[in-house]
Chains A and B, each alone.
Chain A
């Protein structure tokens, strides 16, 4: 069964460093998303991506964040200069269509900023 895969499963980085979280969406999906979940809190939407551009982003997704689909299969989230409060689980998701289609989630990357 096709699935969304995320690497690494856990990343530890020093404050101020850049990190890139990687995701391989399901191959025939066209819509891609990043969500994050700070420990003990709700899952929050960060950004959606379609046709090689951002279709929507939340206020959390500031200039420190960027997304890219560099090679037609990977979908990356870059945090340019990490802060302690960026520590969270980051989930990638993809869907075939825009409405009334299931979003499939990856297993998440736990980012710890020290």
Chain B
């Protein structure tokens, strides 16, 4: 079974700083998808960024980028020029490419951006 681990329960940075959230996962599959979801106080889960395991290039979405290390099974999220609106819970998630199309989530990291 796949597992996802986020080792940082909480992080706090100043506005405009860069912050990196870490995530490791365990799987025997070769093809899969990795995601970062944001859960603001409104509780809705919002997709931040997605990475396909067969792509070597790291995904980027504006201020958000990932460092995907397939051999190390590591998938960290970097937020550049952090903004107050980035304050939220961030969940790393895994989905296999075959069979069940379900997301396996990590425990989450509570990120606070301070003014």
A interface vs B, CB < 8 Å? 31, 33, 35, 41-45, 48, 55-56, 58, 89, 91, 93, 95, 98-100, 102-108
Q: With a CB–CB cut-off of 8 A, which chain B residues contact A91?
A: 45
CA distance A35 to B43 in the complex (A): 13
Q: Any chain A CB within 8 A of the CB of B16?
A: no
Count of A-B residue pairs with CB < 8 Å: 54
A33 and B43: CB pair below 8 A?
no
CA distance A91 to B78 in the complex (A): 26
B37, B44, B46, B97: the one contacting A99 at CB < 8 Å is: B97
B50 and A102: CB pair below 8 A?
yes
A48 and B100: CB pair below 8 A?
yes
A45, A99, A108: the one contacting B104 at CB < 8 Å is: A45
B44 and A44: CB pair below 8 A?
no
What 7 new A-B contacts, CB under 8 Å, besides A48-B102, A105-B46?
Answer: A35-B103, A43-B93, A56-B100, A103-B47, A104-B47, A107-B42, A107-B43
A33, A44, A95, A99 — most chain B CB neighbours (10 Å): A99
B102 and A45: CB pair below 8 A?
yes
Q: With a CB–CB cut-off of 8 A, which chain A residues contact B52?
A: 100
B52, B102, B103, B107 — most chain A CB neighbours (10 Å): B102
